[in-house]
Structure 1
């Protein structure tokens, strides 16, 4: 059994990748099992936190911290085992960088147990930032079902330049931190942009996880439009700022 995680930031195509890998007959790829949510639409295998809904989330983090540290190793030991009648050759889940902040001992466990890492980054930090800002503004992060048509009617996003600047700087900083964490681990680095060569990318992952190279169809649909003009209400203002601040490469 090859154990792995998809280690990434939000809005990098991780849902597409995790759902797609889960279509491979030899791979079990889960959702965000460490998502600290008061909703249960994530994985049924989700790590269970003590959630006191009348308290702020940060206070809940603190309350859970000691018990999480104790429970985590046994939880993952069990998680990485095939269940009855399962015969997967690779088993893993999606892990967001920020989730490591309230999961004490998680990175240590991954390193100690030689968990393989699929490091997923998005080279176009503008698109990464805009996708995140739009998702937060609308509350819509993904198409809900694989067979659901692309959502229509999403309004254009009016971009605050200062917020965009900070978001892009955060992404650059966090990408560096992600790469630093995995530098001494068994990892493969993928980019969102690599999905343009879908079969090649999936075969790279198959080799990394030591499973058969098999055709795998995409498991999710793109939510945001291709053209920035169709996504940004104040496009001219954003375009001018990008060109004046050495981001002209992202204008298309």
Structure 2
């Protein structure tokens, strides 16, 4: 009966997997990388520092369309014996001139036992990693998106059709808990980023609308340091309708938020 380390800031249901199984999988990957021998560093290294359901899959999948970029997803989602060495080795075996990966602050805390996240980011910066901070402003839609993904059994959509419910019921206790959690995570991320150089991407401003995505990815290629290539996202938003069309108990939710001034602006997004 071994499960993931108990940690209040792990919201995604897909991370709740047996701990020993993940520990074993992580150790095997580390051994495989170590046996590949010494390789030169890629010319450009970057990390995407972001919560889940922020557009991170859209970001990583689109960057991987560039011939000079390899961007891994959540490589620290399993425990690593030496997490800092692991990411450096992952970069060294990349066949491209630019290598990156996505990591969540929760994974650093709960899986890697790196409670000094500010120290981790400072180390990465010293080692030549460009930090890309991706975040989502509308915490209510963030919560709704996560619950839709759980219900549908998928965390993103490609060009094909995926079955998902038309609406979800949003229990108020869970809504309150997850709103506080998402905002607490954001506060912790920004505290860790204090004093660091980073490139900021806000989901609503930079990724939500197709007309902005072209500019966002052009800028990002410059930030990473690779030649410009025409890369266009293929993933579609799972949850794009007005909130009233997505939440079965929307009247109950709006009534509850009416008494919470700090959350009221999220109803407009």
TM-score when normalising by structure 1: 0.77
Shift of the alpha carbon at 1:112? 4.0
RMSD, aligned CA: 2.1
- Correspondence for 1:5: 47
Shift of the alpha carbon at 1:155? 4.4
- Correspondence for 2:16: none
CA contact (8 A) 2:76 2:83 kept: no
Secondary structure in 2 matching 1:92: strand
- Correspondence for 1:186: 197
Q: Distance in 2 between matches of 1:133 and 1:95?
A: 21
CA contact (8 A) 2:74 2:102 kept: yes
Deviation beyond 4 Å, 4+ runs, structure 1: none
Larger relative contact order (C-alpha < 8 A, sep ≥ 6)? Answer: 1
Shift of the alpha carbon at 1:249? 2.5
Shift of the alpha carbon at 1:153? 4.3
* Deviations 1:107-164 (CA, angstroms, capped at 9, x unpaired): 2642441321110000111101111233234433223xx3322x24424211111211
- Correspondence for 1:117: 131
Aligned pair count?
A: 215
Unaligned runs of 5+ in 1: 37-48, 50-67
- Correspondence for 2:154: 140
- Correspondence for 1:251: 267
What aligned pairs does 1:1-252 form with structure 2 within 5 A after superposition? Answer: 1-36=43-78, 68-69=80-81, 71-83=82-94, 86=95, 88-101=96-109, 102-105=111-114, 107=120, 109-143=123-157, 146-149=158-161, 151-193=162-204, 194-195=206-207, 196=209, 197-246=212-261, 247-252=263-268
